[in-house]
Amino acid sequence: MSRIFKTTENIYNAVDSVKKFGYAAVDGTKTIATPYCERIIEALSVHSEISAITSYSNVAKQGYLYFVYDLNRFDYESAKRMIEAVDYKSSI
């Protein structure tokens, strides 16, 4: 299981999460989370086996989370369940 990444962190921590787990949850509002997610996707573009996309979900603890996930490993519903689990176990 991964964790929630802050937008002040190095994006390669989140990139490694997508490579290892298939997703990376990002904390922050749309204004700051979306560019961070775009940078993650750009960094992943060198990996032809990963088809990354950004999405958003309302979650119980954080209220909402943006996330990047690999379409080759998860559909939206599966990725959303993973994000909900990360939110549930988070300490942010």
User: Using 50, 70 and 90 to split pLDDT, how confident is the model at 1?
Assistant: confident
Residue-level pLDDT at 87: 95
- Crossing angle of the two packed helices 11-21 and 30-44, in degrees rounded to 10: 60
| pLDDT tens readout for residues 35-76 | 999 999 999 999 999 999 999 999 999 999 999 999 999 999
Q: What is the token pair recorded at 56?
A: 């958003």
Mean pLDDT of the chain: 95
> Do the Cβ atoms of 26 and 53 come closer than 8 Å?
no
How far is it between the farthest Cα atoms of the chain? Answer: 34
The H-or-E segment that residue 11 falls in is helix 11-21
Domains for the chain: give ranges and CATH numbers: 4-89 (3.30.110)
Q: Is 49 exposed, middle or buried (0-12, 13-18, 19+ CB in 10 A)?
A: exposed
pTM of the model: 0.92
| pLDDT tens readout for residues 78-87 | 999 999 999 9
Q: What is the token pair recorded at 22?
A: 């298939």
